Amino acid sequence: MQTDRPSPDDGFHVVPIHGDAEQRIHSNSDRQRELILQNSQSSPCCNLDLRNQPQANAVGAAALIFLTGGIHIAWSIGFDSSPGELEVTNHIRICWFIAAIIGALLGGFFSRWFPYKTLIEFCSLLTLTGGIVMAVNSMDPDALLAGRYMNGLANGLAIAPTLAMAGELSVFYKRGTTTSAAEQWPTTIGIFVQIMCSKSWDVQSEFTEEQFQGLLSGVLGAIALLLAFLLSIESPVDMLEQGNEQGAILAVSRLQKPRAVSADTYDQVRDHRTYVDHHRSMGWRHALPALVRMSVLRAFYALSLSMIVTFTLAWTSTEVYGDSAGPYVLFGFLRLMGSFTTSFALDSLGRKIPLLLGLVISGGLACGLASRFAGSRLLTFWDNRMALWLLLIYQLFAGIAFAPSSSFLSEAFPRRVKRPCIAIAYTLEMIVQLGICQVDLSAIGSDGSYVAVYFFSLGGLLLAGFLFSVWFMPETKDTTLLQAQFKFQEFVIPPA
């Protein structure tokens, strides 16, 4: 039977572990092991994907919850059809972010008390209930508020346990794709769906856009509940930490097809045990360098797609193409394509190359866009058209830049504080969105200087992030979680 650890004769090679990590791992003979990487040119990719499919299935319910979250994020930052009969207060607009913050802190600090399956079932039920509340109530601000609070709470509760679990459930050579496709890709799909919906919805229809959101969230919540019940698998790392080695062996065997206990199963369990042993004494002091990096990266992620970005898209699109929905659809599609293509290339191309490429190009495009608005209150048609196309292309590379962030979050932190650290980084992202939503867009009017300041600042931050990432972000492709942790403990990344 084929295993995850083929022999070197089959075209695989051993990657050694260097530096302090080598001394620590080889200090105990029981912790010695070999990390075997697949030669991409001769690998049976389809067979590998099929064999490892249960690992992605195990977090599939959470991915559907994040998809509904993307719909609500897009609505919150301005992609709505603005029906005249429903008064959208600032509280309704920002309540999803507030609920997500509360949920993230609860999930980050207290989720270890509950089995992952139970937690995701509860989040799915929240998503389902919130969707039903929105779907059956037309033009009711209180129902909309309640539904959005429940959806935000579900997304916040799920984020830290899911990213922590996804990294532990995946084999090392599929971890990048599994983690990014579990969070970044579904969130971006949700944003794209809401953009399409907002630009095609008939505001005269008795069935409102918000009711459609609720219906879609309810359906996805029901499917997520079924997937959570049938396919969720507890982390073998959790079971080893609890002393349940037999449960860990069974969990590892369920994470691959065909399901069987083999020599490879015991090999993976031994790796997990090494990971647990090394992380028993690691805490917040070891997590701080990675927490700073990931908090900055997720804050940039929030800035890259915010209410002011939506405002700028609406401004330039209206000036150039009038009421056409084309620029909006292309905006969402390019962001989706950037996230999609990168999510499925993280285990071949690596994490750092897309991050650096996306940051430097999107930063340059943001500065170019800002220059169109600088120095003049009255923009010409050509300035608006250039700004619009720069904004569209910018979204493609922003999607590329931030797709690896989910993988980094799953790898960066010591196990004992991983969930709280993920929650803190996510909370900062939500706080940035909240802050931007407090901007009074009516005060901007036709004064492009405010837009210029925002995009000059954003472009400068993204370019600074590029330089920051060159020296401070490690490449974690084809590493175990333990090796990735060693890399993140170094604040300055040594040259390869």
Residues ≥6 apart with Cβ < 8 Å to 332: 191, 192, 195, 196
Look at residue 83 in the predicted model and tell me its pLDDT.
Answer: 53
The strand pairing partners of 13, in sequence order, are 37
CB neighbours of 246 closer than 8 A, spacing ≥ 6? none
Report the percent of the chain where pLDDT is more than 70: 87
Q: Is 246 exposed, middle or buried (0-12, 13-18, 19+ CB in 10 A)?
A: exposed
pLDDT, tens digit (0-9, with 9 covering 90-100), for 269-310: 888 888 888 877 788 888 898 999 999 999 999 999 999 999
> In the chain, what are the domains?
53-233+281-489 (1.20.1250.20)
Give the angle 405-180-69 at the CA atoms, nearest 5°. Answer: 90
Residue 194 pLDDT exceeds 70? yes
pLDDT for 291 equals 94
C-alpha span between 62 and 74 (Å, rounded): 19
Lowest mean pLDDT, pick from 200-209, 236-245, 259-268, 429-438: 259-268
**Cα dist. 189→70, 186, 211 in Å?**
7, 5, 19
The predicted model scores a pTM of 0.88
Structure tokens at 51: 């064999």
Dihedral, 86, 89, 91, 96 alpha carbons, nearest 10: 50
pLDDT of residue 39: 37
With b for 16 or more beta-carbon neighbours within 10 A and e for fewer, the 288-320 pattern comes to ebbbebbbbbbbbbbbbbbbbbbbbbebbbebb
Ramachandran angles phi, psi of 37, nearest 5°? -105, 150
113, two tokens: 């008390």
Tell me, what's the pLDDT at 92? 92
Taking alpha carbons only, the member of 336, 76, 361, 55 closest to residue 193 is 336
CA–CA separation, 400 vs 310, rounded Å?
19
DSSP assignment of 34-77: --EEE-TTT--HHHHHHHTHHHHHTTHHHHHHHHHHHHHHHHHT
Residue 184: what pLDDT? 93
pLDDT in tens, 129-183: 999 999 998 888 899 999 999 999 999 999 999 999 998 888 888 899 999 999 9
User: Higher pLDDT residue, 495 or 225?
Assistant: 225
What mean pLDDT is predicted for residues 18-44? 40
Q: How confident is the model at residue 245 (pLDDT cuts 50, 70, 90)?
A: confident
Three-state SS string over 206-242 comes to CCCHHHHHHHHHHHHHHHHHHHHHHHCCCCHHHHHHC
Gyration radius from the chain CA atoms: 23
